[in-house]
Structure formats: C-alpha cells, structure tokens
Structure 1
Amino acid sequence: MISSYCQSGNAIEALNVLDKMRLEGVNMDSVTIASILPICAQSGDIITGMLIHLYVIKRGLEYDLFVSNALINMYGKFGILEQALKVFDQMIVRDVVSWNSIISAYEQNNDPITARRFFNKMQRAGIQPDLLTLVSLASIVAQSNDHKNSLSIHGFVMRRGWLMHDVVIGNAVVDMYAKLGDIDSARSVFEGLPVKDVISWNTLITGHAQNGLASEAIEVYQMMEECNGIIPNHGTWVSLLPAYSHVGAVQQGMKVHGRVIKNCLYMDVFVGTCLIDMYGKCGRLDDAMSLFYQIPRESPVPWNAIISCHAVHGHGEKSSKPIQRNARCESKTR
C-alpha cells in the first residue's frame, strides 16, 4: 500500500499508511524504508526522514544497500550533503545506484566539481556508468560550462543508442546544449528524438528563452500546441511567460493566465511570479500588484519580482515599500 501511494505521488496517504502500520505494531523493513524516504523528500518532511534514519541505525539496517541509497538520495534532495556523504562512506558494498545517488546529490546542489570527482572515483572503482549517470553528467557539464566534454557525453549516449530508447537522456542532452548556449545543437538533438514528452518541449522553450531568443521560444510553444497528446503543464508556463515578458506580448500572457486559473495553478509561487513579472514588464503594474497579493509570499521570489517591476518603470518609492514589508515578514519568520 505504501509503495502504491509512493508511486502515484500521494505523499500524505503514504505517510498515513505508515502511521497505521506503526500503530498495529508492524516494524518497517528495508523495503518500507526505501519506499518512504523519497516521499519524505518530496513532501519536504526532513523530520520524518531523520527519524527514519534513527530507526535504521537502531535496527541495524544502515548497511542495507537499498536503504543507504535511499538515504543518500533523501539527504541530497534536502541539500544536507554532509549526511549524504557520511552514509555513502559507511557503505560496505556500492552499486551503480549508490554512485549515481552521491553524484546526483552534489550535482543538484550546484557543486559540479565534487560531483565530477565522484564520477572519476566511480570509474576507478570499475563501475560502468548507466543512463542515469549520464543524465547527471550532462548537468555537471552544463554547470561547469564545459563545451569540450559535452561532445564526449553526446557521443557516449549515441554509441549506446540511448537517445532512441529513453526520452529522459534525450531531454538531458537538449538541456545541456541549451545551457551551454549551443541552441543549434540542442534543437538538432530535440528534432532527432523519436519520442518527445512535455518535458522535451519545455526544455527547448526554456533553452531559447534563456539564450535571448524569446520569439523563437514562442514559436516552439506554438509547435507544441499543434502536437496531439502533449498537454502544457506548470513547467511550460514557467518557461513561456518570460518569453512573453521579453517581447511585451501581454495579450498572449493574459491567455496563459486564463489557462493557469482554469488548471488551478494560479496559487503556484513560480507560475504566479512569472505572471507578476510579465504584467509588470508590460506596464500593467496594477495587475502585477493584484497577483502579488493573491499568491503565497513566504519566499523572496515574488517580492523580488514586484520590486523589480516597479524599479524598471522608475517607481523608486513604491519599490522600497515591498522591500520594507519583506524585511518585516522575514523578521517575523525568524
């Protein structure tokens, strides 16, 4: 039951079943733990994750391969790299998943140098990289602005034939080239993918937008709209709205706003922030302020957006007021 809820992304129900299991006096085994730890990371529940780690130590399960891999992944998602490394170092046996987990932990926390160091250690240990290793490596190369090794990664993936069989690695290579500023190579890889999912399209839209090609990003989105079975999601709007902001396409942005409301995404802080930025940069400051007061403001992201919107249009006094309110909010939080 726990595994079923985990696989369907229902974190709350998975944790509820775990509570019932404890009340009935049934102890967790390695399978339970390996299933529930990713849910702790997904739901941002570090306390439950750490309590499970204590349980693991008390039950002598800390040397179980699957449990250790799950712990490394969880601590990596929370950015607690010291604990991730501690778990990795105490492992008696490591498989490719173990190495992928520690490489990914550092890659996801913007430390490509250490991530690459672990990949080199993995090679010296005689562990062959798999598809997920190359997904992390593509990101490491992009973060390091390593143009030379981007070709090596692409060539390795091509020789294994992975681009033809798994869209995940294809998306990673497209993203790698886009972040390196090689948008022609990104588009070439994208066009060669036999199967494209919504993430493939989002990656190409983002790649164009981040490289200053807003009009081209909008064109890619229009092509995406013509594809049957591809439904825009949260990532699509976060990728597309900055392009509309750049070209001042407020009417198209308003259409996206309508779709966001229809799909109940208007309370998402990232989508909401992109809408604030779009309205503000297009001169619709009243609409930007209205949205600002509707979305959650626990993080600095929406505050930065509304401050920037006012500052861009020369409203220095108004931009300082949100700063002061932000400071008061942070003070209350502390």
Structure 2
Amino acid sequence: MKASQKLREAIDAFLVRGCTATEPYTRLLLECIRANDVNQAKRLQSHIQIQSVEPNSTYLQNCLLHLYVKSGKTNDAVELFDKMPTKDVFSWNVMLSAYSKLGETGNLRATFDKMPARDSISYNTTIAGLAGSGCSVDGLGLFIRMQRDGFEPREYTYVSALNACSKLLDLRRGKQIHGRIVTGNCRGNVFVSSALMDMYAKCGQVEQAGWLFDRINDKNVVLWNSMISGYLKNGRPEKCLDLFLEMKVAGVKPDLVTVSSVLGANFQSGFIDEATRIFKEIKEKDGVCWTTMIVGYAQNNREEDAWMLFSEMLSENVKPDKYTISSVVRVCARLASLVHGKVIHSKAIRNGIESDLLVSSALIDMYSKCGETLDARKVFQAMAVRNVVSWNAMIMGYAQNGQDQEALELYQNMLQEKLKPDNITLVGVLSACSRSGSVELGKKYFSSISELHGMKPTLDHYSCMINLLGRPGRMDEAVDLINSLPEEPNYLIWSTLLSVARVNGDIERAEMAAKHLSELDPLETGPYIILSNMYASAGRWEKVALVRSLMKDKKIRKAPAYSWIQIDYKVHKFVSDDRTHSQNEKIYRKLDSLMKEIQKAGYVPDTHLALHDVGEDEKVESISYHSEKLALAYGLISKPQDRMPIRILKNLRVCKDCHMFMKFVSKLLEQRIILRDTNLFHHFVDGECSCKDYW
C-alpha cells in the first residue's frame, strides 16, 4: 500500500472519531508535510476550524503554512496567513521564504518591513531573496542593517552579500565583508570562499582572488571553477588553462562548469583543436558546453563547423536555449544563409523563445544581413517588448541595405516611443543620412547627440560625418572636422577619409590618409591597394610601380579576394580565375555567355585597373573571371527558376567592373542579386543598385 493511501486512510479514521486535542492534529499535519500532501492537509485544516482546536493553534497553522509554501501553493499560504489570529516569527519567516522563492521582491521587502519582530532567519532569508532577484543594492543595505541590529549572518547570507558586491562591482564593501568573515565563524567555508574569490575577480582583483585560492586546503571543484572562471573573465586565458592542468594533477575531477570555462579559454588563446579534443572527450554534455563550442567556432571564422555542431546537438536531443539559438542565428547572418536562418527561426518558434529579446534581435540582424528587411521588419513588429538593441538592429538593417528613408522614419518612431537612443542608434541614423545625401539633416542629428541626448560623440559618429561631408565632394569640411577632433584620429577616421577621397578622385587627401594609416598599421594592405588603384585610374603608372615596390620591400601581400554562395545548404567558395570547382566547365560557359549578351546590351568592361603594359584582350580577360562573377554564374546554373534572389558574399570591396556587370545581368535576366561586400549590401534590381553607385 502506498504511503499517500495509508495517510489518507489514517486521516479518514481520525476524522470519523473526532478530536479536540492538539497532539493528534500536529502528528498528522507533520505526516502531510513529509508526504507533501496538500489535499489531506486541507481536510485537516477544515476539521480544525469545525472542532475549534484552540491550544497551540498557531503552531498547527504554521505547519499548514509551511506545507503550502513547500508545495508551491503561495496563494493558499497568503490566504491562511491573512486569516491567522496570531502570528509568531516563524509565521512571518515562512512567508518571507515564499516570496523569496518566487522572486517577488516587492512583497518580500513589504512583508519584512511589517514584521513586529525579527530574528536572524528573517534577515538571512530577505537578504538572500533580494540579492538573488537582482535587488543588489537593497540586499546589501539590509545586510549592513542586520549587523547593526546585532544578528549574526549565516554562510548563505555572506554568499548573497558578496554576490551583490560582485554585481555592483563594489570592491570597498566587498573588502569590508571579507574582514567580517575573517573574524566571524564562516572562515574557511567553501561556498563563502568561492563567493569571495568571485567578488575579487569580477572587481578586477584577480591576483587577490588567486592569493585567497592558494591559501585554501582541501580545494573542491567549486573553488577550482571560481578561480578558473575568474582568470577567464579577466582576459587571462593562459592562466585559466594552467590552472586546469594543476586541477587535473591535484586529482580533482572537473565538472561541466569547469569544461565550459576551459573551452572558452582555448578559443580565446586560439587553441581551437585543443578545445575540440576536450569537447569530444566529454561523455555527457550540457547545453552550456554545446553553446560554448558553437560560439567559439563562430568567433574563429569556422561558421560551417558551428552549424554542423548545432545539427549534432539537436540529434543528441539537447534542447537549445535562447543563448544557443541567438548564437546560431548570428552564424547564419555571417554566412548570409537565409535557408539555415529560417530553419533556426522555426526552431525558436517551436521552443517558444522567438519573442525573447536576445533571439528576436538576432533574427532581425540575420534577415537584414541576408538582404530580407521585410522579414526583419515582421520579426520587429511581432515583438511584444522592444529594447534599444531591437530598434538598433532594425535601423542598422535598413541603413545597410540602402533603405535610408525607412531607417530615418523608424528612428523618429523610436523617439516617439520615448526610448533613449544610444551610440549605435546614432551611427545607423548618420549612416542613413550619408547614403541618402541628407547633409543638413545629418548635421542636425550629429548636434543632437550632445544637445538633445546628453552623450559625447564618439569617433564612430565623426567617421559618419566625414563620410557624409566627403561623399558629395565637401572634402575641405571633412578635413576641417578631422582637425577639430577632441582626440587623436584613429584608423577608422583616416580610412573613412581615404574612402571618400577615392570616390572623389582626390589623390592629395588620399595620400595624406594613406600616410597616417601606414603609420598606425604598417602591414595593412588596404591603403596601399586603394592608393595604387587611384594612381592607375589617373594613369600615373610610375606611382603604381612605386607603391608596388614599397609593398614588396615591406613584404606586404594583398589579401586574396574570394566570394562564396550557398546552394542547397552547402557553401561554395570561389577565387579569381578559379578552375577547381566540380562544375567548372558549366560555370565558365555560363559566364562567357553572359558576357556576350550584356555586351550586346551596352556593357563595356572597365579595364582601368588592369595592368597597363598588356594588350586590351588580356586586360578584359584579367577582370572577366573575378570571384563574384564566378559565384553568380554558379548560382544561375544551380538555382531553380523560382525568382528568388541570388545571394553572394565577398571578403573585399566589390570592384567597379563587377558592380556594373551585376547591374546589367539583373536587368537582362530579370534576376534580383544581393551582393554583400565588406562595405555594405548591394541589391541589384532591374539594372539599378541600392547603393546608388556609391560604395
């Protein structure tokens, strides 16, 4: 016979007999608590009221109160508590425990303040509840008051107070608590020591955390984890790995928390293969381990590995959480993989986390980076709650895809919602002004950064303004702005000036910008290439030869250009004049055919940047098989005739000839093409590009 059935039969027999004595009720209520049987307890409660059992009724009601809270029946507990004619400290503490477990900090603090008398448990429970629910300031304040009132904190109270110091980065208060621990009765407690180490590490005092760690005997896995995590959070991955080896030598078995930190450390140190080896050795992996590996692969430009690992995670029936989903969505964004992105979107919907702020913002970013701003806006519109990150993702999405007016209109909507923009918001807004040529409006928004929003303009904002002024040829104003900067111009500022100088053919300003860039990063190829191309366009071949000679002397090599396209879940990568693809012959036949057709329509190959000391045919051939052209040809022979756009990514800026080529193909074949280079998104539709021929 089951215990619950025995209890029910015992209560049935007892209620038939009837009784006004306290002891039998007490004994049966304690049995209900042990069995966690609320229904039987309620039967006893009703009978207590009918029989008018007065002696020790507060104790009996406290038993019921405890059972309701233990069983998660908070509403029943509140109802009983309000009706209790007499309450003692235990009654109040039970309610504090209930609100603490539910994270209801308002009710928790209100109940504490109403208490006619408090004991150590009252303080301990309330402090832990406040600190654990994010009310760190209130929890810490109550911890100070507790000591002033003469109550001794317990181990978990010290842990809660130290965690509050960690969240607030309050090193001064943390040190004071450390002093109290040394003189108190919690010295040497593993959990208190772990919280102390964590507090010092999060406050940037990782050496002090290490000092504490070295002086603890009998170190368990919790302490090792705190120290390893501390080094990782302070940007010391090499110390994290050293400590992991020491842990193994000490014979302490790592757990999943240890492994997650070590995996992260390996990725920060660039030991990707080592991280992979450790991950494969783990027999039972939790979601944190899977997510750490996925993020690590993505951060180290191994997006395909990240996607494959996510697929393996699903096959192992490990349920992804919002962090996993958002990480994989960002992988899809970097690959511009709309197919994979939609699969993850569906997975998020099935898991009920599509409305999570982290996931929704990642989805908006993914759709935008796949050129599908309409889908991004649908996600944005469906969000019940939006924060500044959500608005930024949508505004930046519009700006990057050449939909400048949509970006600016959305910004106005954001202001109407009384949401304060941040630095990223204004970068998107200024970028949209630059793309649309709205110089005066851009100036107005730039002024509003300090005058309206009380922020200090960053170099990112100044870069947008240099672009805004330089694009229409107002180069003098752009240079004046650089000279007025409140701090030293960085690489971004000079590269922006170089970019607008290239657009305007301003060799003098380009040389100035390139000089500063080479001083900041002598081995960066970009400035040399842009300057060389400008010289070539101007026919100054002696300068081209000088730049190339300089690059050779400094052993600076141009980064190889490549493009990639995804067909049927597989990524295909091409370099210029690539002959390695399995469908090589079909690709070149298609490309040669396209060349002939668009030349009939008026396309003239732009050979200005080709070598000047070769014949015209050789010049044309040298630009005819650039990587993005090969990717487009493969896309055309591979995709079904469903009028869906072809998406191509390139690791460098698209050249003028390829840009013109894409425009002609989009018109001739009525084919929408989306090309994402390092600068922005190009939407080719009916012979026009969303960048308006400025990139």
The TM-score with structure 2 as length reference comes to 0.40
- Larger deviation: 219-228 or 121-130? 219-228
Q: Which of 183, 195, 207 matches 2:319?
A: 195
Contact 1:75 1:83 in 2 (8 A): yes
Matched, 1:323 2:473: no
1:102 is displaced (CA, Å) by: 0.9
Contact 2:204 2:234 in 1 (8 A): yes
Q: Which of 266, 269, 285 matches 1:141?
A: 266
Which has more strand, going by share of residues?
2
Which has more helix, going by share of residues?
1
- Per the alignment, residue 307 of structure 1 pairs with 462
* Aligned-partner Cα distance in 1 for 2:446–2:359: 20
Distance 1:208 1:278, change over 3 A: farther
Contact 1:205 1:217 in 2 (8 A): no
* Aligned-partner Cα distance in 2 for 1:218–1:290: 40
Matched, 1:39 2:189: no
Give the letter aligned to residue 229 of structure 1: I
Matched, 1:230 2:354: yes
* Aligned-partner Cα distance in 1 for 2:153–2:183: 12
Contact 2:213 2:227 in 1 (8 A): yes
1:303 is displaced (CA, Å) by: 2.1
User: What is the Cα-based RMSD across aligned positions, in Å?
Assistant: 3.6
Distance 1:260 1:174, change over 3 A: farther
1:218 is displaced (CA, Å) by: 11
Unpaired runs of 5+ in structure 2? 1-125, 366-391, 435-441, 471-477, 489-695
Q: Cα deviations across residues 120-145 of structure 1 (Å, max 9, x unaligned)?
A: 00010111111111111121111111
- Per the alignment, residue 177 of structure 1 pairs with 297
| Percentage of matched positions with identical amino acids | 22
Contact 1:178 1:208 in 2 (8 A): no
Matched, 1:282 2:454: no
1:203 is displaced (CA, Å) by: 2.0
- Larger deviation: 314-323 or 235-244? 235-244
- Per the alignment, residue 109 of structure 1 pairs with 234
* Aligned-partner Cα distance in 2 for 1:197–1:261: 32
- Per the alignment, residue 11 of structure 2 pairs with none
* Aligned-partner Cα distance in 2 for 1:259–1:186: 37
* Aligned-partner Cα distance in 2 for 1:288–1:276: 8
Give the letter aligned to residue 289 of structure 2: I
Distance 1:219 1:250, change over 3 A: farther
* Aligned-partner Cα distance in 2 for 1:176–1:295: 36
1:62 is displaced (CA, Å) by: 3.8
* Aligned-partner Cα distance in 2 for 1:304–1:276: 12
Distance 1:181 1:124, change over 3 A: same
Return the index of the structure with the highest Cα Rg: 2
Distance 1:257 1:118, change over 3 A: farther
1:97 is displaced (CA, Å) by: 1.1
Distance 1:260 1:34, change over 3 A: farther
Distance 1:60 1:287, change over 3 A: same
Contact 1:37 1:71 in 2 (8 A): yes
Distance 1:265 1:23, change over 3 A: farther
* Aligned-partner Cα distance in 2 for 1:263–1:202: 26
Q: Report which structure shows greater RCO (CA 8 Å, sep ≥6).
A: 1
Unpaired runs of 5+ in structure 1? 326-334
Secondary structure of 1:323 counterpart: coil
* Aligned-partner Cα distance in 1 for 2:324–2:193: 32
Distance 1:21 1:121, change over 3 A: same
Distance 1:70 1:111, change over 3 A: same
